[in-house]
C-alpha cells in the first residue's frame, strides 16, 4: 500500500507515526504540505517524502488521505480534479460531505469520509467511517487499516450518521476535559490542593474508562456497583438526576449534531 497525505498537520503526523510503528515502509508514504517549516519537520521526524504540491509520488499512491482544514479543502483538491484514476480517497476533514468532495474532484466518487478524534495523537483515538457506494470490501479494509494505526474504528452505513459520530466522539474529548476541569475545580473548592485535585480527577477518568472498556458489563451496571444505598455516591447522583444532567447531555449532543449538519451545508456551497 502506498499512501499520500494532502496536508501534514497534527492528525496527519499522528497517522504517519502510527503507520510507521505498525511496520509500514517509510518509502510507501508521501506528504504534500504547503508550509516550508512543516515540510522540514515532517521530513526530519518521519523521513518520508515531502513535497509542496502533488508530484509523481502523489499519483503513484493507491490511497490519498485528505488531511487539510475543512475551509481549505475545496482549494486544496483543485489540483487533483480530473487527475485521479483508481486511488481510494479518504477525507478526515470535519463537515465535508462526499457529494461536495466528489464535485470538487471532478466527479470522482471512490471516497471514504472519516471523523477521527484528537486522542489519535497518542494512538488512542476512535474514528467513524462511511464509505461511498463504489468503495469495495478491500478498499474498506485499507481505510480501516490506516485509521486503525491510531486507534479503533467504527463503520456507519449512512453518511448522515457521521454527524452523530462527530457529536459523540469527534467533539467528545472536549466534554471529557470539561468534566475533568469541573471535578478539579470542585476538589479545590472542597479544600484539596490544585495538584491533588488534578491527579484525582484525571486518574479517576483514566481508571473508570479503562474499567468500562475491559468489562463485559454495561456502564450502568458498573455505576450501580459503586452506588451504595444512602451513601456518598448516591447523594451525588441524586443531584445529577434532580438537575437532569443526562437530559442536558442529550440536548448538548443534539446541538452538536445539528451544527455538524449545518456546517456540511455551509462548506458545500458553491458561493
pLDDT in tens, 49-70: 999 999 999 999 999 999 999 9
Residues of the chain above pLDDT 90, percent = 97
Residue 270 in this model has a pLDDT that exceeds 80: no
Q: Where are the beta strands (DSSP E) in 69-124?
A: 88-91, 111-115
**Structure confidence at residue 269 (pLDDT):** 84
Domain with CATH 3.40.50.720 in the chain: 3-159
Please provide the CATH number assigned to the domain covering 172-261: 1.10.3730.10
Please compute the mean of the pLDDT values over residues 177-190 and round it to a whole number. Answer: 98
DSSP character for 243?
Answer: T
* Tens-digit pLDDT profile for residues 6-25: 999 999 999 999 999 999 99
User: Which CATH number does 3-159 carry?
Assistant: 3.40.50.720
CA distance 8 to 1: 19
pTM across the whole model: 0.92
Q: Where in the chain is the domain with CATH 1.10.3730.10?
A: 172-261
SS3 for 129?
strand
Task: List the one residue out of 124, 144, 152, 10 whose CA is nearest residue 67.
Answer: 10
Give the mean pLDDT of 154-166.
Answer: 97
Amino acid at each position: 500500500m502506498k499512501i499520500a497525505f494532502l496536508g501534514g498537520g497534527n492528525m496527519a503526523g499522528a497517522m504517519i507515526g502510527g503507520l510507521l510503528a505498525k511496520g509500514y515502509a517509510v518509502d510507501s508514504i508521501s506528504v504534500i504540505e504547503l508550509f516550508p517549516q512543516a515540510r522540514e519537520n515532517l521530513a526530519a521526524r518521519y523521513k518520508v517524502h515531502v513535497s509542496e504540491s502533488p508530484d509523481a509520488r502523489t499519483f503513484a499512491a493507491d490511497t490519498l488521505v485528505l488531511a487539510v482544514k475543512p475551509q481549505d479543502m475545496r482549494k486544496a483538491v483543485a489540483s487533483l480534479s480530473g487527475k485521479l484514476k483508481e486511488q481510494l480517497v479518504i477525507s478526515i476533514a470535519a463537515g465535508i460531505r462526499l457529494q461536495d468532495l466528489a464535485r470538487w474532484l471532478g466527479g470522482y466518487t471512490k471516497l471514504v469520509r472519516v471523523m477521527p478524534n484528537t486522542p489519535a495523537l497518542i494512538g488512542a483515538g476512535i474514528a467513524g467511517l462511511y464509505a461511498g457506494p463504489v468503495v469495495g470490501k478491500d478498499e474498506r479494509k485499507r481505510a480501516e487499516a490506516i485509521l486503525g494505526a491510531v486507534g479503533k474504528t467504527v463503520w456507519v452505513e449512512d453518511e448522515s450518521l457521521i454527524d452523530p459520530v462527530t457529536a459523540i466522539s469527534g467533539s467528545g474529548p472536549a466534554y471529557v476535559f470539561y468534566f475533568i476541569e469541573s471535578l478539579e475545580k470542585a476538589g479545590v473548592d472542597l479544600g484539596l490542593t490544585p495538584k491533588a485535585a488534578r491527579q484525582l480527577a484525571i486518574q479517576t477518568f483514566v481508571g473508570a474508562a479503562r474499567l468500562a472498556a475491559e468489562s463485559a458489563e454495561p456502564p450502568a451496571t458498573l455505576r450501580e456497583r459503586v452506588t451504595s444505598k444512602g451513601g456518598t455516591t448516591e447523594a451525588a447522583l441524586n443531584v445529577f438526576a434532580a438537575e437532569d444532567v443526562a437530559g442536558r447531555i442529550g440536548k448538548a449532543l443534539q446541538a452538536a449534531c445539528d451544527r455538524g449538519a449545518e456546517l456540511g451545508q455551509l462548506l458545500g456551497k458553491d458561493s
